[in-house]
A and B are shown apart, each in its own frame.
Chain A
Amino acid sequence: MATDAPALPAGLTKGKRPPGLIADRGFRILALAAGLMVLVILALIAIYTTREAWPWFSAERLGIFSDNWDPAHQHFGAGGLIYGTLLVAGVAVLLSLPISVGIALFVTDVAPERIRRPIVYTVDLLAAIPSVVYGLWALLVLAEPLASLFQTISDATASIPILSTLFANPSASGKSFMTAGIIVAIMITPIITSITREVFATVPSAQKEAALALGATRWEMIRGAVFPHSRSGMVAGTMIGLGRAMGETIAIALVIGSSPRITANIFGPGDTLASIIANQFGEASGTHRAALIGCGVVLFAITILISMAARAVVARTDRRSAGTV
C-alpha cells in the first residue's frame, strides 16, 4: 500500500508541516505585534501620566481649572495655562491659515509648472528647522523689535475702547502671547500648507476647466470650484495645525514670559501648558511636579480630541466623495 502512494513533491514529507509555514505565521504575528505597539504605547501614556498626576487631580479637583498657579503657596490651578495654550494656538492659526492657503493655491493654480516643486521644497524647509532654533531666533532677534512695535500699537490705540484693553501693558522684553503666536504661526505654516495643497490637488481639473470655459477669472474659478470641493479638507488641515500649535513647547517656553494668567492683554506675558512644564519641571517636586505632569495629561487629552475631530471630518469627506464618484 505504501508503494502505491504518489510521490510527494520535493521538499514535502508526509505527516510533517509544509516548509516555511512557521516562518510565515511568525512573520505575520510579528507584524501584528508591531501594529499593536501603537495601541499599547498610547494606553501606557494615558495610564502612567495620569497615575503620577493623580495627587494633583485629587488635591485640586475642579480647582485644576482655576486661574491661580502659584507654586510658592501650593496653588496649582491650570486655568491660565489652558487659556494661554488656546490663545497662542488661536493666534498662530489665524495668522498662518490665510498664508498657508495662499501658498497652497500658489503651488496648485498660479505658479508656473516647473517652479512648483522647488516652492514645495522651500516651504518644507520651514518644517525642517528645529523648534529650539525658532525659539532662539525669536528670543534673541525678533523680541526686541516686536517690543517696540507692541509699544507703538499700544500707544496708538490707547483711546479706542476694546483695542486699548487688548493691546494694553505691552511687555518691555517682547516676551508675550503675541510673540509666541507669531513664531508658532511660522512653524505650523508648512503643515497646514502641505495638507491644503494635497486637498486642492484633488479638485477635478474638469471642474476647474469648466469654470474657466464659462468665462470665470482665476479667482472666480478658485472660489467656485476649488474652495467648495476642499472645504472639509481645509478644516481638517487647520485642526491638525491647531493641535500641533498647542503641543509646541520649546519655542514658546523661550518667548512667552512665564506668567500664567488669564488676561486680554495679548502683548503681555503669559504661559501655556507645554511651556510651563519645560520651564518649571527641573525644580519641581511633590504636588508641584504632579501638577506639571497633570498639565501634560490635560494637553494630551486636548490634542487627542482635536486630532480625532480632524480625522472625523476627513472620514466624512472620504465617504461623501466616494459616494459621488
Chain B
Amino acid sequence: MSASAMPLTQSTRKGRRELKNAVATALIVASFVVALIPLTFILVYVVRAGMTVFGLNFLTEDLPFSNRFEGGGIYPAIVGTLVITGTATAMAVPLGILGGVYLNEYGGHGIFARLVRFLADVMTGVPSIVMGLFIYTIWVLPRKESGLSGFAGALALGCLMLPIVIRTTEEILKLVPDELREGSYALGTRKAQTIRRVVFPSAAPGIVSGALLGVARVAGETAPLLFTIGIVSAANWNVFDGPNTALPQQIYINASVFGGFDAAQNRAWGGALALILIVFLFTLVARVISAVYARRSAAV
C-alpha cells in the first residue's frame, strides 16, 4: 500500500511546488503591473487636464494677481524655476565635483574621507523641508523681507543637490582606470594636472549625466521654496533681488485653493505638465549622455 502511495504523494508534492512557483511568478509580474498603474494614470491625467490650458498664452503670460482670478499664464513661474534651479546648479555642481574628487582621488579609505562619505549619505536623507527651514533661519531671517529671493531658494536646492553630485562623481571617478593616472604620472605630470587633463575628460559624460539627474531631482522640489522665495506675479529674472516664484510653488498654491476653484485647478494641471516636461527633459538628456558613454566605453 505504501509502495503505491509513494508516487502519488510525490507527484502531488511536485504539483504543489510547481503551483507555488507559478503563483510567485504571477505575483512578481503583477507587482510591476501594479507600479505601472499609478504612473500611467498620473501621466495621462496631467497631460489631459494640462492640455486644457496649455498653449502659447499660458506659457508666455504673467500670473493673475490672485489665484482666485481666472486667466493669465505661468510664465513667471517658468522663469523662476529656470533661474533658481540654474543658480543652485552653478553653486552645487562645481562644489560637488570637487568633493567627489577629494573622496576618490585624495581621501581614499582614510578616516576623514570615510566620515565625509558617511555624512554625504546622511545629508542625502535630510528632508527637503528641513533644508528650507535651514535657509530660512540662516539666510532669510537675518535679512527680514529682503531675504526672500530666488537666491535663498537656490541655496536650499543647492544644499539638496550637493551630496547627490558628490556621491555620483565619486562613483564615476572610480570607473576611470588607474592605468590612465599612472601613465600620466610616468610622464612627470602632477596629481592636480593629471586629474584635470586625464581623469576629468574620461569621466566627463558620467559626471554631466549625474549632475543632470541631480538637477532633475531638485527642479521639482516645492518644500524648500515655501519660506525662501516669497511670491510674485510678474517674471523676475534677477535671482538676487526681490521675491520670485516657481512652478512647483504655483502648482501647490493653486491646488490647495480652498473649496476647489476650477481655473486655479486647471492652472495647477498646466503647471504640472510644464514642470514634468522640464524634469523629463533633464532626465532624458542625462540618460542619453550616459547611454552613449556606456556604449563608447564598452567599445574601448
Contact = CB atoms under 8 A, between A and B. Distances in A.
Interface in B9-35: 17-18, 20-21, 24-25, 27-32, 34-35
B125 A133 contact: no
A136 B122 contact: no
Decide if the interface of chain A is mainly helix, strand, loop or mixed: helix
Interface stretch (B52-60, B130-138, B203-211): B130-138
Given A44-B134, A219-B25, A277-B129, A129 B42 contact: yes
B162 A37 contact: yes
A35 B129 contact: no
B214 interface: no
A44 B125 contact: no
B1 interface: no
Contacts of A300: 126-127, 130
Interface string A262-304: 0000000000001001100110000000000100100110011
A37 B123 CA distance: 11
B113 A35 contact: yes
Residue of B137, B138, B166 most packed against chain A (CB within 10 A): B137
A36 interface: yes
A299 B38 CA distance: 28
A295 B265 CA distance: 30
B42 A137 contact: yes
Interface in A132-164: 132-137, 139-141
A217 B22 CA distance: 9
A41 B252 contact: no
Interface size class of B (residues with CB under 8 A): 35 or more
B193 interface: yes
A141 B190 contact: no
B223 A278 contact: yes
Interface in B107-136: 107, 112-113, 115-116, 118-131, 133-134, 136
- The secondary-structure label for the interface of chain B is helix
A203 interface: no
A85 to B, nearest CB: 10
Nearest to A28: B106
Interface stretch (B66-74, B175-183, B236-244, B275-283): B275-283
A71 interface: no
Contacts of B192: 20, 23-24, 26-28
A141 B106 CA distance: 52
Contacts of A293: 133, 136-137
Interface in B66-121: 95-99, 101-103, 105-107, 112-113, 115-116, 118-121
B27 A102 contact: yes
B3 interface: no
B38 A132 contact: no
B125 A31 contact: no
B129 A247 contact: yes
Given A20-B190, A102-B28, A130 B276 contact: yes
A198 B298 CA distance: 21
Contact of B127 (A20, A39, A253, A299): A299
A32 B102 contact: yes
B125 A20 contact: no
Contacts of B128: 247, 249
Given A121-B287, A220-B21, A131 B221 contact: yes
B119 A133 contact: no
Interface in B181-239: 190-193, 195-196, 216, 219-223, 226-227
Task: Please give me the 4 A-B residue pairs with the lowest Cβ-Cβ distance, nearest first.
Answer: A130-B220, A247-B127, A102-B31, A34-B98
27 contacts: A31-B102, A35-B99, A35-B166, A38-B99, A38-B120, A38-B166, A39-B116, A42-B123, A49-B137, A102-B28, A110-B28, A129-B39, A130-B275, A131-B221, A136-B268, A137-B41, A141-B41, A218-B25, A219-B24, A249-B222, A249-B223, A254-B256, A274-B129, A281-B226, A293-B136, A304-B126, A311-B121
Interface of A: 20-21, 23-24, 26-28, 30-39, 41-42, 44-45, 48-49, 51-52, 98-103, 105-106, 110, 119, 121-126, 128-137, 139-141, 186, 189, 193, 217-220, 222, 240, 243-244, 246-250, 253-254, 274, 277-278, 281-282, 293, 296, 299-300, 303-304, 306-308, 311
